A and B are shown apart, each in its own frame.
Chain A
Amino acid sequence: MVIALGERDGISGPAIAACVEAAGGKVVFVATECFV
């Protein structure tokens, strides 16, 4: 089970989640953070 912890200025959470799901993985949490 995958936690997709994206970042606004990098790779977003939904983009990571889409990659995981395409690879056959299960996403249980998605977030896109803003690092300050």
Chain B
Amino acid sequence: MDLQSQESILRLSETHGPGNLLVLIGAPDPEAAEISAETVVLGDPAYAGALAGAQLGLDVYHVLEDAVRQDVPDDVWEAQIGVMADILEADALGAAVAGMREQKPT
């Protein structure tokens, strides 16, 4: 995750509290989705950014997961996500993010 995003997420977490934030990821492949999810749950695995060592434990989902999809009106979903929902492997993406979500520190 780029350094500027990490700084912004850390600041938002400090301002609003990590329990009030939900991260939605739009990564195209499971590896990238997992790294983004890991960064906001357990900290930056590359130890390069502001989230290095920061176990924020943010709630995180891939935008293609059913839990997200079901809350978005069909016309908006079709206009914004459209064919990408068919091209990308939603199940694998969801599983990658869920795996990190379950490692949320208690």
Residue of A nearest to B2 (CB): A33
Q: What is the predominant secondary structure among interface residues of chain A facing chain B?
A: mixed
Q: Which of B15-23, B47-55, B98-106 contacts A (4 or more CB under 8 A)?
A: B15-23
B12-A10 in contact (CB<8A): no
Interface size on A, residues (CB 8 A): 27
B28-A3 in contact (CB<8A): no
| Separation of A19 and B4 alpha carbons in the complex (Å) | 23
Chain B residues within CB distance 8 Å of chain A:
1-2, 4-5, 8-9, 12, 16, 20-29, 32, 35-36, 40, 58, 63-64, 68, 71-73, 76-77, 79-81, 84, 88
Top 10 A-B residue pairs of the complex, sorted by shortest distance between their CB atoms:
A11-B26, A10-B28, A6-B26, A22-B76, A15-B80, A23-B71, A35-B32, A19-B72, A3-B23, A9-B28
